[in-house]
Chains A and B, each alone.
Chain A
């Protein structure tokens, strides 16, 4: 393998590695979001909270 071939291979590998790293980061973030959505969905919520009459202030 010549020097030029090594450098060209390295350049394409860097492109591939960076794109792969980006995809992995996005995948981890989506996994975190999924976990947070599950956590939020499993919480019980008080209904009719927004139907309370507004209090007079001042």
Chain B
């Protein structure tokens, strides 16, 4: 005769929040994988860095002699652009890890990395368009390689979600998505170098072979903004990843119990 118990009472050999059905007997698996830096610490660091960056942008950094006040968009626009490249790069790296080790967790990390990249990519396009409106008088210029190539990169990774959600969850979907994510990484250096390779451009170049085209407080403000965006992106990445892992484990629980 079978007895009845509630799920709150975990017993040896019972279901734990393992990473997959094969690992469900391992009670030592933590609910969420532990990291060295805790999420509250990361969130606090993001808040401090973003606030400091905003103070530097609006109250400390000098006004650019050429572009005037509108140059202040640069600090977040460029920082967000580099962060989105990093997120796409992270997504591609995790995709490679997935293909190499067949680790389902790497597939999830790749997905979240690309998701972050698309979010930051949309911010790059919006802030860039606003800056273009002030400086060029147009929201968008199709003749600009840098803009179009970034849009191609953004749309390529946006299509990643169409691929992912059009397939049933499983190893096949993970493999296809990983290959797709790896193809996209080729576009990152192309997008970054496009402005430097272009013969004719009006998009400003601030990082050249000879270093950055600015210094002093502008450089300090940019570096703080860049650090703020990277830490913010990493914090959001970790929060989303925790949620996704919980979701996956909850589905496993439902499959077993319901």
Binding site for B on A (CB under 8 A): 2-5, 7-8, 10-12, 14-15, 18-19, 22-23, 26, 29-30, 33, 36-37, 40-49
Q: Does B3 contact A (CB under 8 A)?
A: yes
Interface size on B, residues (CB 8 A): 38
A11-B3 contact, Cβ under 8 Å, with A22-B119, A33-B247:
no
Contacting residue for A14 out of B8, B72, B130, B257, CB 8 A: B130
Top-6 shortest CB links A-B: A4-B69, A11-B130, A4-B70, A41-B7, A44-B4, A11-B127
Residues of B within 8 A of A8 (CB): 69-70, 72-73, 130, 134
Binding site for A on B (CB under 8 A): 2-8, 54, 57, 68-70, 72-73, 76-77, 80, 119, 122-123, 126-127, 130-131, 133-134, 232, 236, 239-240, 243, 246-247, 250, 253-254, 257-258
Q: Please, which residue of chain B has its CB at the minimum distance from the CB of A3?
A: B134
Contacting residue for B76 out of A11, A41, A44, A47, CB 8 A: A11
CB distance from A13 to the nearest CB of B (A): 10
| Interface contact B236-A7, CB-CB below 8 Å | no
Chain A binding site: helix, strand, loop or mixed by DSSP? helix
Inter-chain pairs besides A18-B119, A48-B2, 13 sampled, C-beta below 8 Å = A7-B131, A7-B133, A11-B77, A11-B130, A19-B232, A22-B236, A29-B243, A30-B246, A40-B258, A41-B6, A43-B6, A43-B257, A43-B258
In angstroms, Cα B243 to Cα A3, docked, is 41
In angstroms, Cα B7 to Cα A23, docked, is 30
Contacting residue for B123 out of A14, A23, A36, A45, CB 8 A: A14
Residues of B within 8 A of A37 (CB): 246, 250
A41-B123 contact, Cβ under 8 Å, with A12-B76, A33-B250:
no
Residues of B within 8 A of A29 (CB): 243, 247
| Interface contact A15-B76, CB-CB below 8 Å | yes
Residues of B within 8 A of A44 (CB): 4-6
Q: Please, which residue of chain A has its CB at the minimum distance from the CB of B133?
A: A7
